[in-house]
Structure 1
Amino acid sequence: MDATEFRETVEAAKRTELDRLGSSQLLVALTDAELDAESVLRVAAGSEAAAYGTFSSWAEDEDHDAAREAFETVAEQEAEHYERVVAAMDHASDAAESVEAAAEADSGPMHAYLRGRDDTVSRVAGGMVGRSLVSLRTHTQIISFFVNEADEKRADLFRDLKNETKDTLERGLELLDGGRETDDDWERARTTAEYVVQLAYDDYADALGELGLNPKSVC
Structure 2
Amino acid sequence: MDAAALIDDVTDDQQTELSRIGSSKLLYADTRGEMDEETVYATAAAREAAASETFAAWADDENHAEAAALFADAADDASARLDALDADPADWTPAMHDPLDDIDGTAARLGGLLGWTLVDKKVKEQLTGFFTGQADPQTASTFRSAGSDVLDLREEVTDLLDIVCADDADWERAQESANAVIEAAYDEFFSTLENLGVNPKPVC
TM range (shorter): over 0.9
Question: What value does the CA root-mean-square deviation take over the aligned residues?
Answer: 1.5
Query: Contact conserved, 2:55 with 2:75, CA < 8 A, in 1?
Result: yes
1:146: Cα distance to partner?
0.8
| Paired-residue identity, % | 39
Deviations 1:109-151 (A, max 9, x none): 2112211112111111102x00000000011011011111111
Query: Contact conserved, 2:165 with 2:171, CA < 8 A, in 1?
Result: no
Partner residue in 1 for 2:157: 172
Query: Contact conserved, 1:45 with 1:82, CA < 8 A, in 2?
Result: yes
1:218: Cα distance to partner?
5.3
Amino acid at match of 1:31: T
Q: TM-score, normalised by structure 1?
A: 0.89
1:168: Cα distance to partner?
1.2
Query: Contact conserved, 1:23 with 1:218, CA < 8 A, in 2?
Result: no
1:139 maps to which of 124, 128, 133? 124
Partner residue in 1 for 2:84: 84
Aligned mates of 1:4, 1:168 — CA distance in 2? 15
Segment of structure 1 superposing worse, 159-168 or 9-18: 159-168
1:216: Cα distance to partner?
2.0
Aligned mates of 1:218, 1:163 — CA distance in 2? 30
Partner residue in 2 for 1:150: 135
Aligned mates of 1:115, 1:48 — CA distance in 2? 15
Q: TM-score, normalised by structure 2?
A: 0.95
Partner residue in 2 for 1:21: 21
In structure 1, stretches of 5+ residues that fail to align are 87-91, 96-101
Structure 2 counterpart SS, 1:217:
coil
Task: Indicate how the Cα distance of structure 1 residues 165 and 218 shifts in structure 2: closer, same or farther if over 3 A, else same.
Answer: farther
Aligned mates of 2:55, 2:202 — CA distance in 1? 34
1:193: Cα distance to partner?
0.3
Task: Indicate how the Cα distance of structure 1 residues 159 and 208 shifts in structure 2: closer, same or farther if over 3 A, else same.
Answer: same
Equivalent residue runs for 1:101-140 within 5 Å: 106-127=92-113, 129-140=114-125
Partner residue in 2 for 1:89: none
1:106: Cα distance to partner?
4.7
Structure 1 counterpart SS, 2:104:
coil
Aligned mates of 1:202, 1:218 — CA distance in 2? 19
Query: Contact conserved, 1:59 with 1:69, CA < 8 A, in 2?
Result: yes
Query: Contact conserved, 1:20 with 1:218, CA < 8 A, in 2?
Result: no
Aligned mates of 2:203, 2:94 — CA distance in 1? 23
Count of matched residue positions in the alignment of Structure 1 and Structure 2 = 204
Partner residue in 1 for 2:59: 59
Deviations 1:142-177 (A, max 9, x none): 101111111101001101111111111111111101
Amino acid at match of 1:135: D
Aligned mates of 1:180, 1:108 — CA distance in 2? 28
Query: Contact conserved, 2:190 with 2:200, CA < 8 A, in 1?
Result: yes
Structure 1 counterpart SS, 2:34:
coil
